[in-house]
Amino acid sequence: DIQMTQSPSTLSASVGDRVTITCRASQSISNWLAWYQQKPGKAPKLLIYKASDLESGVPSRFSGSGSGTEFTLTISSLQPDDFATYYCQQSNSYSLLTFGGGTKVEIK
Amino acid sequence: QLQLQESGPGLVKPSETLSLTCTVSGGSISGSSYHWGWIRQPPGKGLEWIGNKDYTANTHYNPSLKSRGTISVDTSKNQFSLKLSSVTAADTAVYYCARRTAPGNFDYWGQGTLVTVSS
């Protein structure tokens, strides 16, 4: 199995801050990585796919980068609506998809 | 706009079979290049991929389920289903159905349904 490790697990930030979340894969996954945002009681929402492609309708303050084993999700200027939990997910292994453990972005 | 909606019992007894259905509206599940899958989330925990069925009828499951899962598609009803046998308390979770795209991510999700395994 490809293990996905996110850091930090919790992040405290203020509105307007630049926020970066890291996701590391246990082996190379090329650019087969997606990022999701999940709010309490809601389904995850796709933000980024193929490591850096922005899903339609997602604000441009969200960006993704990386390839191989290390990836980042950046929120350029944190907005009140962005306080949520973020997950990465690899799809390099076609028949066994795995998610990271999540990063909760809290209000500082 | 594509919409997915899970349905099924919210309470299942240990050792019995969990059965959920996902109804897709706003688009057809047949003849497309998408896969149709299930993801679950135990209370307060992270996401776990259960499995998905693709347009060629190939099905893939998470090995952690130990062959207890079955995903089927009913194109006549525009639905797909999950059956999980021999459930235990560890299978208590919110279950989501979702559409998997070619790059392997999930772009449309149902709202989720909580299934509790308890006697």
**Closest by Cα among A101, A76, A85 to A25:** A101
- d(CA A52, CA B96) in angstroms, rounded, equals 25
Backbone angles phi, psi at B97, to 5 degrees: -100, 150
Q: Are B40 and B94 in contact (CB under 8 A)?
A: yes
Q: Verify whether the Cβ–Cβ distance B96 to A43 is below 8 Å.
A: yes
Tens digits of per-residue pLDDT, B8-55? 999 999 999 999 999 999 998 886 689 999 999 999 999 999 999 986
Nearest CA among B94, B111, B107 for reference residue B10: B94
- Which of A97, A98, A99, A103 to mutate against chain B (most B CBs within 10 Å)? A97
β-strand pairing of B113-117 with B11-12 = parallel
- Give the pLDDT confidence score for residue A33 in this predicted structure: 98
- Indicate the DSSP class of residue B62: -
Q: Residues A14-38: what's their mean pLDDT?
A: 97
CA distances from B82 to A69, A74, A96, A104, B26 (A): 32, 35, 17, 29, 21
Strand A33-38 relative to strand A85-90, pairing: antiparallel
The pLDDT confidence band at residue A93, using thresholds 50, 70 and 90, is: confident
Is pLDDT at B56 greater than 80 in this prediction?
no
Q: What is the mean pLDDT of residues A13-34?
A: 97
Q: Using the predicted structure, report yes or no on whether residue B91 has a pLDDT greater than 90.
A: yes
Beta-carbon separation of A99 and B48 below 8 A: yes
**Residue A14 confidence (pLDDT) above 80:** yes
The pLDDT of residue B11 is 98
Asked if A43 has any chain B CB less than 8 Å from its own CB, the reply is yes
B92-102 pLDDT, tens digit each: 999 999 999 98
Mean pLDDT, residues A49-57 taken together: 97
* Pairs of residues, one from chain A and one from chain B, whose beta carbons lie less than 8 Å apart: 60
List for chain A the helix, strand, coil content (%; round to 5): 5, 50, 50
Look at residue B6 and tell me whether its pLDDT is greater than 90.
yes
B49 neighbourhood in chain A, CB within 8 Å: 89, 96-99
Between positions 48 and 87 of A, the ones with CB within 8 A of B are 49-50, 55, 87
Smallest CA–CA distance from B110 into chain A, residue: A43
Burial classification of residue B33, based on how many CB atoms lie within 10 Å of its CB (0-12 exposed, 13-18 middle, 19 or more buried):
exposed
